[in-house]
Amino acid sequence: MSTIRVIPALDIKDGRLVTGVNFVNLRDVGDPVECAVAYERAGADELCLLDIMASHEGRGTTVGIVEQITRAISIPLAVAGGVRSVEDAQRLLEAGASKVGMTSPAVRRPELISEAVARFGSERIIGTVDAKRKADGGWEVYINGGRIATGIDAVAFLVDAVVRGVGELLINSLDTDGAKTGYDLELLRAVSGRVDVPVIASSGAGKLEHFYEAVAQGGASAVLAATVFHFGEVTVPQVKEYLRARGVNVRL
């Protein structure tokens, strides 16, 4: 079994770490650099910085925050939100990001994924979507921080992203985001069963069992969470120990 990664998410707005439900009703959590250092000390395998307002505000991800965080930590930092061009991706990688996630701009123009993979390699590019369940079945891609429905099938989009060369996928469920009721296991299975790259489960973790379900039932290769980590409801060491006790290979 591959080693399962535990990844705290750093949702950024106006230079501050925030948390909320479906990107609204946001609460200030603290300084993102201080939190990043604390998570590394706690044993996080990676961090994922999401500039949750970048696409909605029509701008690129704040490079300065990426530089500050990567100077302060040694674990990998993935960055997503507002990557509108290959040049945007290059600036983030030069600022110290290990990987860059392609979000709303790549939904509007999927060729951006192909261009970024050709420039930087599969291992540096993540395919990601905000997906919401449709009344008639399946899931739809939403853009601009979950504000705009696109009519695009989320599973098909992610499969196409893998065909275009991304090295892994980050799946954010708008139905479970911030709800603490568990990851969308059906969505995870629908994607992980059709691709041969690692899948990162995002949105919905509320207790230790949810992390295990994402791996054992959803086929996830990594589990990402924010709120439960930020407020100490669950800690990174607790997640790792819980997974290890159930036969899941983790870095202790």
Burial class for 116, CB neighbours closer than 10 Å (0-12, 13-18, 19+): buried
DSSP H helices, the chain, are 32-42, 63-72, 86-94, 104-108, 111-120, 154-163, 185-192, 208-216, 227-230, 236-245
State which amino acid sits at residue 128: T
If we measure between CA atoms, which residue out of 193, 121, 187, 127 comes closest to residue 157? 127
**From CA 113, how far away is CA 226, in angstroms rounded?**
26
Q: Are 31 and 16 a contacting pair, CB within 8 Å?
A: yes
SS (H, E, C) 167-188: CEEEEEECCCCCCCCCCCHHHH
C-alpha radius of gyration, the chain, whole number: 16
List, by residue number, the catalytic residues: 11, 130
